[in-house]
């Protein structure tokens, strides 16, 4: 076991002030300090010489050599590498105030497509710079991507840990470090199939790893996750990634892009980080799908429609209704004599004076008899009437 509460080595204190230990583990200790010459805050990584990993020192030096080739705002910079008095290696790099992408995802859950696209574009920029200079990272994962500052205000990505990076000009360099045939290098959840098979890798291997990270950012889950190490790496080799549900708009276009990054065959992936970034920018410009039309309740709509139909039918018949003929109202006919005015009243009013035997009409003539209709008269006394046979014809059929 190593004591992690030890004081910073004396040699470091010669140049770096205000040294504070910020992390420690089985491999070494990381300090935060102020470079008195450059007047900037730095992180200093030291390595325990008796580490259980025999390749630790070589990887430590490999990281220094790889990053020394690079100078990019999305890649953490290394300013110094050397040995302390006891031959303990140390590495001085930019200090990044922030949190890892892994911690950010644990806090935030699945991320908005715009944030995912911004993060991926910055990683593409940094890794395209590295690939153009012959450096393949081989260990891209959320814990090796730092979000500098406050992500709510501005996204600024810094790529860390090039300790297992491949320098493309040679499998063996002057340090004697060699990637042995049949040796898998990388992290199981993010390794490409060719890494698992210990085959030669190029930029497309980093694209696959970035696809795994992107899948995790949009879904909150890993694309390949078995219960054991063997199940996990086998899934990378044989199992298609679980489908992402969104198919429309910006998120849908991003999901299609991610699945292309995760192709088992490197030839089916994007050829370079710059090509991947172009596709990401195209996703950013995809219009959102149209908002679904809210369906109204069909019952009120049906009732309203039937009501309108009924009103229309009623109006149609009302307009086209044949006007019933108006029966002319016969004018009231007055008898020639006042005594006969009651001949012209309504049918239900009996002409009672016709029934008055003691008050006979004395001067009824043929014209007067023409006014007797229907059952207006129940009886008539024509004893003194001045009528002829022609007038009597008006009495035929009456119930007298």
Tokens of 326: 């108006």
Distance CA 281, CA 286 (A): 9
Whole-angstrom distance, CA of residue 157 vs CA of residue 146: 6
Q: How far apart are CA 366 and CA 362, in angstroms?
A: 13
Q: Active site includes 202? A: no
* Gap between the Cα atoms of 243 and 360, Å rounded: 117
Identify the DSSP state of 393.
G
- Residue 31 CA, distance from chain mean position: 44
Class of residue 98 by CB neighbours under 10 A (exposed 0-12, middle 13-18, buried 19+):
middle
Report the C-alpha gap between 73 and 382 in whole angstroms.
137
Catalytic, out of 94, 125, 139, 206: 139
Q: Cβ neighbours of residue 132 under 8 Å, at least 6 residues apart?
A: none
- Cα separation values, 315 from 17, 256, 308, 320, Å: 96, 59, 10, 8
Give dist(CA 162, CA 45) in Å, integer: 13
Residues with active-site annotation: 139
């Amino acid at each position: 076991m190593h004591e992690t509460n030890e004081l910073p080595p004396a040699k470091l204190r010669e140049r770096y002030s205000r040294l504070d230990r910020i992390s420690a583990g089985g491999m070494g200790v990381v300090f935060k300090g102020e470079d008195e010459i450059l007047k900037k805050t730095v992180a200093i990584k030291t390595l325990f010489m008796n580490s259980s990993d025999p390749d630790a020192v070589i990887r430590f030096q490999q990281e220094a050599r790889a990053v020394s080739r690079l100078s990019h705002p999305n890649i953490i910079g290394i300013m110094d590498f050397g040995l302390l008095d006891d031959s303990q290696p140390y590495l001085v790099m930019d200090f990044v105030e922030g949190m890892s992408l892994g911690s950010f995802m644990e806090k935030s859950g699945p991320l908005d497509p715009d944030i995912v696209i911004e993060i991926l574009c910055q990683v593409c920029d940094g890794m395209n710079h590295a690939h153009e200079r012959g450096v393949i990272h081989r260990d891209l994962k959320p814990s090796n991507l730092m979000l500098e500052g406050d992500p709510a205000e501005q996204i600024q990505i810094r790529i860390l840990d090039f300790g297992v990076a491949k320098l493309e000009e040679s499998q063996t360099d002057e340090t004697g470090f060699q990637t042995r045939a049949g040796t898998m290098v990388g992290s199981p959840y993010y390794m490409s199939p060719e890494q698992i098979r210990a085959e030669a890798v190029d930029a497309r291997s980093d694209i696959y790893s970035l696809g795994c990270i992107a899948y995790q950012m949009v879904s909150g889950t890993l694309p390949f996750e078995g219960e054991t190490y063997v199940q996990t790496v086998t899934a990378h080799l044989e199992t298609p990634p679980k489908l992402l549900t969104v198919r429309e708009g910006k998120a849908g276009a991003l999901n299609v892009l991610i699945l292309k990054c995760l192709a088992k065959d490197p030839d089916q992936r994007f050829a370079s980080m710059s090509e991947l970034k172009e596709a990401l920018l195209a996703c950013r410009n995809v219009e959102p799908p149209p908002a679904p039309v809210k369906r109204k309740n069909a019952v009120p709509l049906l009732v309203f429609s039937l009501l309108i139909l009924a009103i229309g039918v009623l109006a149609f018949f009302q307009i086209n209704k044949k006007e019933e003929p108006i029966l002319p109202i016969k004018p009231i006919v007055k008898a020639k004599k006042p005594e006969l005015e009651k001949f012209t009243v309504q049918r239900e009013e009996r002409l009672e004076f016709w029934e008055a035997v003691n008050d006979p009409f004395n001067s009824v003539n043929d014209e007067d008899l023409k006014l007797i209709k229907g059952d207006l008269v129940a009886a008539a006394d024509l004893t003194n009437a001045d009528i002829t046979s022609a007038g009597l014809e008006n009495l035929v059929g009456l119930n007298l």
